[in-house]
């Protein structure tokens, strides 16, 4: 994979590992672009009882066109800064990530 977005940690095996900056309690849920070396994701769920983490997984799953079971929280369960794996073909996922970021940039 050439020139991966800054938020990509690795793309080995059958997963794309990405860094996320979570913003819980937002009005709308969705990907808000890059914030430094992290993918900024806003979710309306509160950061209580894992609800925001589940909402982040849901946003990623729907954005990447994978099942929610294919999105795994690796670290940062109680932090705003998280690392998640998205299972699938890494190059195809990276291409989709670039398209998502390009769409956000045009908005």
pLDDT digit string, tens, across residues 47-80? 999 999 999 999 999 999 999 999 999 999 999 9
Average pLDDT score over the chain: 91
What would the two tokens of residue 73 be? 């929280």
Q: 71 in helix, strand or coil?
A: strand
Say yes or no to pLDDT of 1 above 70: no
Taking residue 64's Cβ as centre, other Cβ atoms within 10 Å add up to: 21
Identify the CATH class of 8-106: alpha beta
């Amino acid at each position: 994979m050439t020139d991966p977005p800054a938020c990509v940690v690795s793309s080995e095996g059958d997963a794309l590992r990405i860094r996320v900056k979570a913003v819980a309690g937002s009005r709308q849920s969705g990907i808000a672009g890059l914030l430094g070396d992290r993918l900024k994701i806003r979710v309306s769920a509160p950061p209580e009882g894992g609800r925001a983490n589940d909402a982040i997984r849901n946003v990623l799953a729907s954005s990447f066109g994978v099942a929610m079971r294919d999105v795994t929280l690796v670290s940062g369960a109680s932090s705003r800064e998280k690392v998640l794996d998205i299972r699938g073909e890494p190059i195809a996922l990276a291409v989709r990530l670039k398209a998502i970021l390009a769409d956000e940039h045009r908005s």
